[in-house]
C-alpha cells in the first residue's frame, strides 16, 4: 500500500497540533511521533499546513513520471491553479515549459471541468436531488464515503474534472499516457483508483523538475497562439464559488452556495438531511484549490491567487466568443461513489469506562474535554486509546496532576529537608524533615520569610550572585543539628530551593571519635612520659653503678701494678 502522506520523525515529537487540526482524526501517535492512519485519512493535507516543524512527507511520483516520459507519449493535464502557483497568465508558456521536460503535449484540466459542469446542469434539470453536492474535490468525496454515508445520495454521480479530462485525452490519443499536475495530494489516490490517470505530479514536484532541468517558465518567450473554441468559464474552478461561476445560467429550484475548508464541510454534512434545495460546492481547502497543500507559496497568499485566477478567466472570456458548449460524445462520465469503511475497532462502554478510569475520569465532572491531547472530548480520546491510535500519557491534565502528585510525594517523604523559596525569600514549599531540622512548630509557614527560622545570608548571596551553593556544613543552634546545605538558584529568577542533608549523627560520631583520639593521645603521652622517667632513672642508676665499678677496678689495677713493681 502506498503511503501518500506521512510525517518525518526527526522533526515531529509530542506536538499533537496536526491531530487537533485533523478534521477526521486520521493521525495516531507512535513513540511520541505522529503517523497517518491510511484507512481514515482523506488526504486533505491540512495537517501539513499547520505543522510548525514542516515535517510533512508527501509521496512523490516523480520517478515514475520520468520513466513514462522516457518511454513514450505523455500528455499533461494541468490544473487551472497553475496560474497562481507559477505566476503565469498564458497556458502556452506552461505547455512549452512542459515540452522541455519531455511531455508530448499539455492541456488545461478545465477542459474536463467544463464537461463536469455540463453533467451537473443536466442532473439538476431533472430535479431528482433534494440536495446536490459537487464531486470535484476528492478529499470531500472520501470524507463523505467514510464518515457521512447518508450524504452519498446527494453526492453528484459525476467524475471529477481530472478523471473526465483524462478520459477525453485517452479517447483522442489512445496511445498516450496521462499525467495530472496540480496542488492536491488527494488526487494521487483518486488517480490510482480511477484507472485512467497514469501519474500525478504536485506543483512542488513540477517546480523541482523545472529547477533540475534549468527550465524557467517566466523566462520562456511568449509565443502568441490564437486558440479556437469558445470561452471556458470552468477555468474559475480553482477558486471559491468557481464551480458555481462555471454555469452560464442557474437551474431554478436550487440555491447555489460554496463551502470551503474541511471543518465547514463537516458541519454541513452533519446537518445535510435538514437541508433542501441546496447546490453545495464543497472544497476541503480553505479558499479552494488555489490554496492546496502542494501549491507554491506566493506573496499575499490565497487573496492574490484568487485575483490571478479571476484575471486569467476574464482574459479568456474577452478573447473568445461565448458559444453553446457541445458535450463530449461517447464518453461515460458517470462515477458511482461507494461506501468506504475504516479499520476502526468499536469498543464497548465498559472498555471506554476502564480507559477513562486510568486517567482518573470516573465522573462526568472529570471529563474536562480540554482538547490538549488533540481529541475534542475525553470520550473520543478513550476511543482512540482502545484503537491503538493514542496512549494514556497524551492526557495533559492527567500527566500534570500525576507529575505534581509524584513531586509532592517525593518532597514529602524525602529523608532530606527541602525548602522552596520565592524571590522575596518567603517559603513556598517545605517538607516535614526541614521543619524538624529548623525547629519550626508553626502549623502553616507558607508565605513567611525564611529569616524567621534560618540565617538567610547564604540564600541572599546565592540569589544575588546567581550561583549555586553545594554541601556547606551548617550548625543549627536551635535544634542542635548539623546539615549539609545545598542551595539551587532556579532559572528565570523564579526563586531558590534548598536541600538540607541531616549529618548530625555523622558529625557527632566524628566528634566522639575525635574525643577518643585526643584522650588516647593524652594517655599515650602520659605513658611516654612515665617511660621516659623510668628510663632516665634506670640510666641514672646504671650511671652511678658504672662509676663505682670503674673506681674499684682502677684501684684493683693500681694495686696489682704496685705488687709487680715490688718484686
pLDDT of residue 410 exceeding 80, the answer is no
**Mean pLDDT in residue range 483-491:** 91
pLDDT at 13: 74
φ, ψ dihedrals at 5, nearest 5°: -150, 140
**Mean pLDDT in residue range 112-141:** 96
Same domain flag for 136 and 201: yes
**Is residue 329 one of the residues assigned to a domain?**
no
Same domain flag for 142 and 262: yes
In tens, the pLDDT along 509-533 reads 877 777 766 776 676 667 677 777 7
Alpha-carbon torsion (48, 50, 51, 54), positive or negative? positive
**Is residue 334 one of the residues assigned to a domain?**
no
Q: Are 470 and 509 in contact (CB under 8 A)?
A: no
Confidence of residue 561 (pLDDT cuts 50, 70, 90): low
Same domain flag for 371 and 482: no
Alpha-carbon distance values, 66 to 69, 77, 101, 295 (Å): 5, 16, 9, 21
H or E element in which residue 413 lies? helix 396-413
Same domain flag for 13 and 45: yes
**Is residue 325 one of the residues assigned to a domain?**
no
Relative to beta strand 177-182, strand 199-202 is: parallel
Q: In what order do the strands lie in the sheet with 481-489?
A: 427-430, 417-421, 496-502, 481-489, 469-476
Same domain flag for 445 and 303: no
pLDDT at 360: 87
pTM: 0.73
pLDDT at 550: 60
Closest CA to 419 of 501, 502, 497, 503: 497
User: Of 59, 76, 108, which residue constitutes the final position of a domain?
Assistant: 59
Confidence of residue 297 (pLDDT cuts 50, 70, 90): confident
Relative to beta strand 131-133, strand 278-283 is: parallel
- Average pLDDT over the chain, rounded to whole? 88
Least confident window among 13-17, 112-116, 189-193, 373-377: 13-17
Confidence of residue 223 (pLDDT cuts 50, 70, 90): low
Least confident window among 3-7, 84-88, 260-264, 266-270: 3-7
Same domain flag for 34 and 111: no
The residues, ordered by sequence, that sit 6+ positions from 85 with a Cβ below 8 Å of its Cβ are 183, 203, 290, 295, 296, 298, 305
Least confident window among 177-186, 382-391, 487-496: 487-496
Of residues 190 and 372, which shows the higher confidence score? 190
Same domain flag for 282 and 377: no
**Is residue 326 one of the residues assigned to a domain?**
no
Relative to beta strand 417-421, strand 427-430 is: antiparallel
The residues, ordered by sequence, that sit 6+ positions from 1 with a Cβ below 8 Å of its Cβ are 38
Residue 178 bridge partners (DSSP): 75
Per residue in 112-142, is it b (16+ CB within 10 Å) or e — as a string? bbbbbbbbbbebbeeeebebbbbbbbbbbbb
**Is residue 327 one of the residues assigned to a domain?**
no
Confidence of residue 15 (pLDDT cuts 50, 70, 90): confident
Same domain flag for 130 and 250: yes
Counted domains in the chain: 5
Same domain flag for 493 and 522: no
Same domain flag for 187 and 295: yes
pLDDT at 416: 92
pLDDT at 184: 96
H or E element in which residue 257 lies? strand 255-260
pLDDT of residue 9 exceeding 80, the answer is no
pLDDT at 147: 97
- Give me the CATH number covering residue 16: 3.30.70.20
pLDDT at 471: 92
pLDDT at 544: 61
**Mean pLDDT in residue range 392-407:** 76
**Is residue 338 one of the residues assigned to a domain?**
no
> Would you state the cell numbers that stand for residue 305, as one nine-digit string?
491567487
Confidence of residue 538 (pLDDT cuts 50, 70, 90): low
pLDDT of residue 351 exceeding 90, the answer is yes
Residue carrying the nine cell digits 512527507: 57
Cα 250 to the center of its chain, rounded Å: 45
H or E element in which residue 27 lies? strand 27-30
pLDDT of residue 565 exceeding 60, the answer is no
Angle (CA) 110 114 119, round 5°: 140
Residue 487 bridge partners (DSSP): 469, 498
Query: From CA 393, how far away is CA 27, in angstroms rounded?
Result: 16
**Is residue 507 one of the residues assigned to a domain?**
no
φ, ψ dihedrals at 300, nearest 5°: 75, 0
pLDDT at 215: 95
The domain of 294 spans 60-319
H or E element in which residue 255 lies? strand 255-260
Same domain flag for 22 and 47: yes
**Mean pLDDT in residue range 210-228:** 79
Residue carrying the nine cell digits 674499684: 552
pLDDT at 399: 75
3-state SS assignment for residue 205:
helix
pLDDT at 229: 61
**Is residue 510 one of the residues assigned to a domain?**
no
φ, ψ dihedrals at 320, nearest 5°: -125, 140
Same domain flag for 456 and 544: no
Least confident window among 235-239, 385-389, 551-555: 551-555
In tens, the pLDDT along 155-186 reads 999 999 999 999 999 999 999 999 999 999 99
Least confident window among 344-353, 388-397, 536-545: 536-545
Residue carrying the nine cell digits 502522506: 5
> Would you state the cell numbers that stand for residue 158, as one nine-digit string?
459525476
Amino acid at each position: 500500500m502506498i503511503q501518500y502522506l506521512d510525517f518525518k520523525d526527526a522533526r515531529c515529537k509530542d506536538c499533537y497540533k496536526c491531530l487537533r487540526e485533523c478534521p477526521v482524526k486520521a493521525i495516531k501517535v507512535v513513540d511520541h511521533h505522529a503517523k497517518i492512519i491510511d484507512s481514515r485519512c482523506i488526504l486533505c493535507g491540512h495537517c501539513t499546513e499547520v505543522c510548525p516543524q514542516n515535517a510533512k512527507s508527501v509521496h512523490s511520483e516523480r520517478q515514475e513520471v520520468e520513466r513514462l516520459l522516457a518511454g513514450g507519449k505523455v500528455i499533461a493535464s494541468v490544473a487551472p491553479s497553475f496560474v497562481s502557483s507559477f505566476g503565469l497568465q498564458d497556458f502556452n508558456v506552461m505547455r512549452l515549459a512542459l515540452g522541455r521536460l519531455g511531455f508530448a503535449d499539455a492541456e488545461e484540466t478545465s477542459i474536463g471541468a467544463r464537461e463536469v459542469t455540463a453533467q451537473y446542469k443536466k442532473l439538476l434539470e431533472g430535479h431528482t436531488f433534494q440536495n446536490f453536492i459537487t464531486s470535484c474535490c476528492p478529499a470531500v468525496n472520501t470524507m463523505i464515503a467514510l464518515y457521512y454515508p447518508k450524504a452519498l445520495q446527494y453526492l453528484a454521480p459525476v467524475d471529477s474534472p481530472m478523471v473526465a479530462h483524462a478520459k477525453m485525452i485517452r479517447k483522442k490519443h489512445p496511445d498516450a499516457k496521462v499525467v495530472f499536475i496540480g496542488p492536491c495530494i488527494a488526487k494521487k489516490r483518486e488517480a490510482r483508483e480511477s484507472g485512467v490517470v497514469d501519474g500525478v505530479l504536485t506543483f512542488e514536484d513540477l517546480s523541482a523538475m523545472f529547477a533540475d532541468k534549468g527550465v524557467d517558465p517566466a523566462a520562456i518567450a511568449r509565443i502568441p497562439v490564437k486558440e479556437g473554441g469558445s470561452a471556458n468559464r470552468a477555468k474559475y474552478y480553482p477558486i471559491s464559488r468557481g464551480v458555481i461561476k462555471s454555469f452560464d445560467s442557474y437551474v431554478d429550484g436550487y440555491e447555489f452556495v460554496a463551502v470551503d475548508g474541511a471543518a465547514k464541510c463537516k458541519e454541513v454534512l452533519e446537518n445535510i438531511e435538514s437541508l433542501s434545495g441546496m447546490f453545495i460546492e464543497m472544497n476541503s481547502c480553505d479558499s479552494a484549490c488555489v490554496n492546496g497543500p502542494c501549491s507554491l507559496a506566493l506573496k499575499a497568499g490565497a487573496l492574490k491567487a484568487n485575483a490571478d485566477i479571476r484575471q486569467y478567466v476574464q482574459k479568456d472570456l474577452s478573447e473568445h466568443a461565448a458559444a453553446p458548449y457541445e458535450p463530449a460524445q461517447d464518453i461515460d462520465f458517470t462515477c458511482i461513489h461507494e461506501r468506504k469503511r475504516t479499520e476502526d475497532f468499536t469498543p464497548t462502554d465498559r472498555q471506554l469506562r476502564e480507559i477513562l478510569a486510568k486517567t482518573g475520569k470516573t465522573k462526568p465532572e472529570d471529563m474536562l474535554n480540554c482538547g490538549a491531547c488533540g481529541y475534542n472530548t475525553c470520550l473520543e480520546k478513550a476511543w482512540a486509546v482502545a484503537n491503538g491510535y493514542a496512549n494514556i500519557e497524551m492526557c495533559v491534565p492527567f500527566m500534570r496532576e500525576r507529575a505534581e502528585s509524584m513531586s509532592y510525594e517525593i518532597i514529602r517523604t524525602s529523608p532530606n529537608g527541602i525548602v522552596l523559596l520565592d524571590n522575596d525569600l518567603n517559603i513556598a514549599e517545605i517538607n516535614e524533615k526541614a521543619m524538624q531540622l529548623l525547629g519550626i512548630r508553626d502549623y502553616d509557614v507558607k508565605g513567611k520569610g525564611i529569616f524567621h527560622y534560618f540565617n538567610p545570608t547564604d540564600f541572599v548571596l546565592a540569589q544575588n550572585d546567581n550561583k549555586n551553593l553545594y554541601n556547606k556544613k551548617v550548625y543549627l543552634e536551635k535544634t542542635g543539628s548539623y546539615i549539609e546545605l545545598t542551595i539551587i538558584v532556579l532559572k528565570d529568577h523564579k526563586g531558590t530551593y534548598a536541600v538540607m542533608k541531616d549529618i548530625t549523627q555523622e558529625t557527632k560520631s566524628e566528634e566522639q571519635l575525635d574525643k577518643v583520639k585526643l584522650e588516647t593521645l593524652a594517655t599515650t603521652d602520659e605513658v611516654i612520659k612515665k617511660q621516659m622517667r623510668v628510663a632516665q632513672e634506670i640510666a641514672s642508676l646504671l650511671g652511678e653503678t658504672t662509676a663505682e665499678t670503674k673506681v674499684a677496678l682502677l684501684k684493683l689495677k693500681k694495686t696489682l701494678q704496685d705488687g709487680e713493681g715490688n718484686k
